Amino acid sequence: MDINAVLKRAMEYIGREKDAGFRGEVEELVRKEDWKELEDRFYRNLEFGTGGLRGIIGGGYNRMNSLVVKSATQGLAAYFKKTFPDKDREGKLSAVIAFDSRHYSAEFAEASALIFAANGIKTWLFSSLRPTPELSFAIRKLGCDTGIVVTASHNPSTYNGYKAYWNDGSQVIPPHDIGIIREVEAVKDIFEMDRQEALNEGLLRIIDKEIDEPYQAMVKSRLFRPDLIKAKAQEVKIVYTPLHGTGAFHVEKALGDLGLKVITVPEQREGNGDFPTVVFPNPEEAPALKMAIDLGKKEKADVVMATDPDADRFGIAVPEKPGSDTYVLVTGNQMGVLLADYIFLSLRETGKLPANAAMINTVVTTGMQAKVAEYYGAACIECLTGFKWIADIWRKCEKGEIDKTIVFGTEESYGYLVENEVRDKDGISAAALTAEMTLYWRSRGKGLLDRLNELYHICGYWQEMGISKYFQGPEGPGVMKGIMDNYRKNPPETLGGLAVTRVRDIKNGVDGLPPSDVLQFYLEDGTIVSARPSGTEPKIKFYATSCTKVSGDLEKARAEAARKLEAITKDIRSVIGD
């Protein structure tokens, strides 16, 4: 992008941005003639990906700031007004907005609410930070047409983001996301309203407990064995961290009401957009759980739990053996296996397992979950990466378009949905169900790892690996496209010494899946290797899921799986670099 084009866009932004801080950043860059930084901020506009908008906070069209958020909301409002013209004419369009603990989250949320109000859309705004799953719940509870949660999920503190939702509580999918993008790109005038005026006219309403209490009741209602919890709750000790995010209020309240003892990491309990004790506030990252595990060792906890800042992701660590000071991190794939097993088992034991029961997972999630579903006579339906696609399948099943009754949805990146009332991953409900699951297996003399090992003997030993490579700056998208193009033109004959027997390219849609920039390589031993650029970050991601037969010796199977995945990783690294 040449300097004149960059400067033109920068000056346009300066003229439109009302926030003095964001505007000043760009003015200073122009004054210093910092063309490299300006190019990064203006070579593109932030786009809706698998999770909506997400980017580094700062001035510029390629940053998260007041103007970008307001433009997105104006475009969203315009799209809903055009999509539901009768409701618009009758003044019946409505929205609900939540936000997390990140910098500018509250400001972006209120700005969005006042733009909706100015467009005649009645808006409920949470009084303080709330988790993403509660926002999804609120859309359905209030009967809203749309919703927004301001969050960048598990990204570092320099990021913020914006997730847009449809009227069923799920994130926006095609064709609506494309339609919204077009409306956003066409925005010239942004309509805003004064806060007090919006309140006076009934176009803005502040909410909290009227949603909090039903949401907590719902979380508790999804448990299978309340009598077991009532009788045995004091036998399980839980250490929990919200990683400076939104989860503490609901996890402490919901689990506490059940009589469970929850010890929250005090240094990480309160919301703090700096995330001062972690680099990445992500339960997928081992360092993020260090303080919780240290406290777990001190308290001799039976399970250590963590949610990310908007409490949609959930992770755990458990003692290697009862009473051990060594805690083992349970991966997202393993957690999905354990929850699927427990849900199917519990439904069967209580006589409530539907004849057409099914779970949903994504194309990059472990193949072991399908084996668990099969073990219980159920199905496992695959979908694209991103929880909005899990919600889409769930919706189709409810409408009778697919003859299955969904009981669980999960993805490898620590996302789980165990209830019908929410249409996004829910770390709060997952925490409650995991507490019950821990108690259940404890009542049978087992830990979660013991049950996982039993499932390995039933389903084979499955192990997964993931590789992420970031490509920052204007050249990043081109580099990632080049990698994907090269894999398409010259697919590898082998990966890790194993022959590639099939290539599945989902770019144009295949096997009932919508189009997505995903390549999958099927190896001779059943291993599947997937490649996809991220929809929300400048990185390309590789996944592998591999099964090794267990012939009595589980450790031998572990070693063989590790060897295969190490060899595959080496081949991928030779293409993308370290």
Alpha helices in 33-131 (DSSP H): 35-42, 66-83, 85-89, 105-118
Q: Pull the structure tokens for residue 132.
A: 């993403």
- Does a cis peptide bond (omega within 30 degrees of 0) precede residue 175? yes
Q: Is 153 a catalytic residue?
A: yes
Q: CA 253, 133, 150, 104: dihedral to nearest 10 degrees?
A: 10
Please give the backbone phi and psi of residue 313, each rounded to the nearest 5 degrees, phi first: -95, 150
Contacts (Cβ under 8 Å, ≥6 apart) of 540: 468, 469, 471, 480, 483, 484, 531, 532, 533, 534, 576
Written as one string, the DSSP assignment of 218-244 is HHHHT-S-HHHHHHHGGG-EEEEE-TT
Pair 154, 308: CB distance under 8 Å: yes
Q: Which of 94, 105, 112, 153 is catalytic?
A: 153
With a CB cutoff of 8 Å and minimum separation 6, the contacts of 218 are 137, 419, 421, 429
* φ/ψ (deg, to 5) at 492: -65, 145
CA distances from 257 to 219, 315, 432 (A): 11, 21, 11
Nearby residues of 192 by Cβ (< 8 Å), 6 or more positions away: 70, 111, 114, 115, 118
Q: At what angle do helices 427-443 and 248-257 cross, to 10 degrees?
A: 40
Helix, strand and coil percent figures for the chain, each rounded to 5: 45, 20, 35
Extract the tokens encoding 234. 């004091």
Q: Which of the residues are catalytic? A: 153
